[in-house]
Copies of this chain bind each other. A is one copy, B any other.
Amino acid sequence: MSATAASIDIESAVLEACRRAKVASRALATATRSTKDAALHAMADALVEHSARIVSANAEDVERGRENDMTPGLLDRLALTDERICGIAEALRFLAALPDPVGEVKRGSTLPNGMRLIQKATPMGVVGMIYEARPNVTVDAAGLALKSGNAAVLRGGSAAARSNEVIVDVLQGALQQVGLPRDAVQSIDAYGREGARVLMNARGLVDVLVPRGGRSLIQAVVRDSTVPAIETGEGNCHVYLDSSAPVARSVEIVVNSKTHRVGVCNAAETLLVHRDAAERVLPSVLAALHEEGVTLHADAAASALAPQGVPTVPATDEDWATEYLSLDIAVRVVDDLDEAIAHVQRYSTGHTEAIVTEDIGAAERFVSQLDTAAIMVNASTRFTDGAQFGLGAEIGISTQKLHARGPMGLAELTTTTWIAYGDGHIRA
């Protein structure tokens, strides 16, 4: 078979999957909460019941990963155990306990002419997910889509293809068991990168695309997708210590923001310190970061305040723009709040920015002048998270401005429908 014939086959197979998902989405859109929650519990039960089969398929993926020199970090994210499968199943039961986002009335009024108008949350239809080789995301995404009344077409990393194949089969069995269509959750892993490209362009069949992964995936989606996408982006998060920042609080918030978990998008990457506070707070903050193993990329003024035995390396312009995702932090002394705001405006990726201050006016200026998904006043950047914000579950953190910004939960997987009830009303 020629390459072109193969690519036509992939195209028709993926479009057919999307078409079946579209048909299935109609049943999901009108499913009651009871049915959807029963499906989530059935999915959780089935995962636990078929745990051995899933672990064995996963072992093949892990073995192939090892052969292909996958890094230990990626191998760890890929690997499933009975215990991990129990945890993944628990997350589905937790989803079942959350309120149904579908049907929530967002706005409503009686119009001057007497018509009753409501704007109601309704499912998107078909959600496309493109993500990397983490089989737990397959279950999370299927569960979030189901609870919000959507069908899901999933494209996980090919490195997890065997795991995903078995997991999706198990989930489909559970759907069938409660009378919902199997096609409501489908995997297109078998169709590789070409399949992902078809998914990105299945306009009219796929209603929204949620890419979760590194910069290259997001950029490919932005460039190539004709299906509307919600970008989940990078976090070059800043902590700014204002002139009034107390020492102990500064140490705690900076250390927590930087080191609580380093590989995540809401970890701090740059520390800015007001000149008037630098001498008072920086020595303790730098010492505490060093203690935690953090490499300090400092400008001259910050470097001069590092205590003896706390080494620094010179910060370059590149450091201000870097999302390290590692035990590194860039440190700069700024002249005042304005310079701090200007720095953040220049380098922010619009994820999370934090200020430590006792000055209410400074806090308000920081909040009102920054253009970002989340702002923390006297709190760690690590709080930007669906679970922490009380959204229940999270499908990702959006750093763009359309539709969803910040942590995305179930509500963000819905759209709205306006319904107007008249009594023979016509326009004059």
Evaluate contact between B374 and A419: CB separation under 8 angstroms.
yes
Q: Give the residues in chain B near A369, CB-CB below 8 Å.
A: 26, 29-30
Which of A160-168, A185-193, A273-281, A398-406 is found at the contact surface with chain B?
Answer: A398-406
Closest 6 CB pairs of A and B: A379-B422, A256-B426, A401-B415, A403-B403, A379-B425, A374-B418
Evaluate contact between A418 and B371: CB separation under 8 angstroms.
no
CB distance from A264 to the nearest CB of B (A): 11
Q: Give the residues in chain B near A367, CB-CB below 8 Å.
A: 417, 419
Asked whether A371 and B208 contact (CB < 8 A) given A117-B390, A418-B389, the answer is no
Evaluate contact between B208 and A420: CB separation under 8 angstroms.
no
A110 vs B139: C-alpha distance when bound (angstroms): 30
Does A361 interact with chain B (Cβ within 8 Å)? no
Evaluate contact between B125 and A383: CB separation under 8 angstroms.
no
Can you give 9 contacting A-B residue pairs, CB < 8 Å? A111-B388, A117-B390, A119-B406, A208-B402, A374-B417, A374-B420, A378-B421, A382-B427, A383-B420
Asked whether A422 and B378 contact (CB < 8 A) given A401-B208, A402-B230, A402-B403, the answer is yes
Which of A7-15, A220-228, A301-309 is found at the contact surface with chain B?
Answer: A220-228
A372 vs B111: C-alpha distance when bound (angstroms): 21
Evaluate contact between A424 and B383: CB separation under 8 angstroms.
no
Evaluate contact between A203 and B230: CB separation under 8 angstroms.
no
Evaluate contact between B380 and A426: CB separation under 8 angstroms.
yes
The secondary structure that dominates the A interface is mixed
Evaluate contact between A420 and B253: CB separation under 8 angstroms.
no
A112 vs B390: C-alpha distance when bound (angstroms): 9
CB distance from A362 to the nearest CB of B (A): 13
A30 vs B367: C-alpha distance when bound (angstroms): 10
Does A252 interact with chain B (Cβ within 8 Å)? yes
Evaluate contact between B425 and A383: CB separation under 8 angstroms.
yes
Q: Which of B29, B115, B427 touches A256 (beta carbons < 8 Å)?
A: B427
Evaluate contact between B389 and A426: CB separation under 8 angstroms.
no
CB distance from A222 to the nearest CB of B (A): 5
A256 vs B372: C-alpha distance when bound (angstroms): 46
A401 vs B227: C-alpha distance when bound (angstroms): 11
A222 vs B415: C-alpha distance when bound (angstroms): 19
Does A384 interact with chain B (Cβ within 8 Å)? yes
Q: Which of B125, B223, B372, B376 touches A420 (beta carbons < 8 Å)?
A: B376
CB distance from A163 to the nearest CB of B (A): 30
Q: Which of B125, B222, B371 touches A371 (beta carbons < 8 Å)?
A: B125
A342 vs B307: C-alpha distance when bound (angstroms): 74
Evaluate contact between A382 and B426: CB separation under 8 angstroms.
yes
CB distance from A47 to the nearest CB of B (A): 29
Does A377 interact with chain B (Cβ within 8 Å)? yes
Most chain B CB neighbours (cut-off 10 Å) among A223, A369, A380: A380
Q: Which of B203, B373, B418 touches A418 (beta carbons < 8 Å)?
A: B373
CB distance from A164 to the nearest CB of B (A): 26
Asked whether A424 and B378 contact (CB < 8 A) given A228-B402, A384-B418, A389-B117, the answer is yes
Q: Which of B125, B222, B375, B417 touches A373 (beta carbons < 8 Å)?
A: B417
Evaluate contact between A422 and B377: CB separation under 8 angstroms.
yes
Does A176 interact with chain B (Cβ within 8 Å)? no
Q: Identify the closest chain B residue to A398 (Cβ).
A: B415
Q: Identify the closest chain B residue to A120 (Cβ).
A: B367
Most chain B CB neighbours (cut-off 10 Å) among A29, A257, A415, A423: A415
Asked whether A368 and B115 contact (CB < 8 A) given A252-B426, A377-B419, A425-B380, the answer is no
Does A416 interact with chain B (Cβ within 8 Å)? yes
A257 vs B427: C-alpha distance when bound (angstroms): 8
CB distance from A247 to the nearest CB of B (A): 12
Asked whether A377 and B421 contact (CB < 8 A) given A222-B203, A402-B402, A405-B416, the answer is yes
